[in-house]
Every structure is written in C-alpha cells, then in structure tokens.
Amino acid sequence: MAFKPLHDRVLVRRVESDEKTAGGLIIPDSAKEKPAEGVVVACGAGARDEDGDRIKMDVAEGDKILFGKWSGTEVTIDGEELLIMKESDILGIITDGAAAKAA
C-alpha cells in the first residue's frame, strides 16, 4: 500500500466483531454496529509544537487500538475500507494482557 498519513494522523483497519453473542445468539448484519477497535496500518510523523519540533506519536504500526464510535474518515485504498483519524481520536491501546483478561 502506498499511503502515508501526514502529521498526527493514523490509518486504521477495523477489527471485525463477533458474529455471535456470548450466549450463542447470531447477530444479523442489520443489527451489527461498526466495531470501535482497529489495528494501526500506518502513522504520520507527528504534529509539531510551537518551536517546530516533532511531537512523537504514542501509537505505532501494528498497535491494536480503541477509538470513538464516530471517529475518523472512511476511505477506500486499494479496494479496502480503512479509517484516517487524528491521534487524539484514539482512546487507548489494547495490550495483550488486557485482551486476555477480557476473554
């Protein structure tokens, strides 16, 4: 993929949600909400402060993140639907320990 976000923006691929509930009920497509989890595909170089120095990004490529329901702008790149959002729209990074604890 030949796309690099600018400044403090990130390119995110949504993580698909489960087809079933914990009780085993199948969720129809019409009732599904778009997932608020994703994986960072690409990061910009970071914003600049008043002195012109780069502010390091807190996320990196490959990080699994949680973001707001209405965050980002949907784009299609190479036939794949992705999101471009500012780093400030990201609520947090999901670590392996948190994912194992949630399961």
Question: Long-range pairs for 68-76 at CB < 8 Å and ≥24 separation?
Answer: 68/36, 69/33, 69/34, 69/36, 71/36, 72/12
Strand bridging mode 37-43 / 90-94:
unpaired
pTM of the shown model: 0.73
Alpha-carbon gap, residue 21 to 6, rounded angstroms: 38
Residue 51: both structure tokens together: 């002195």
Please choose, from the candidates 66, 46, 41, the residue with its C-alpha nearest in 3D space to the C-alpha of residue 57: 46
**pLDDT tens-place string over residues 44-79:** 888 888 888 888 888 989 999 998 888 888 988 888
H helix and E strand count, the chain: 1, 6
Q: Work out the mean pLDDT of the chain and round it to a whole number.
A: 80
**pLDDT band of 34, cuts 50, 70, 90:** low
pLDDT at 39 over 90: yes
Res 64: pLDDT = 93
pLDDT at 90 over 80: yes
Res 27: pLDDT = 63
Res 95: pLDDT = 87
**pLDDT band of 96, cuts 50, 70, 90:** confident
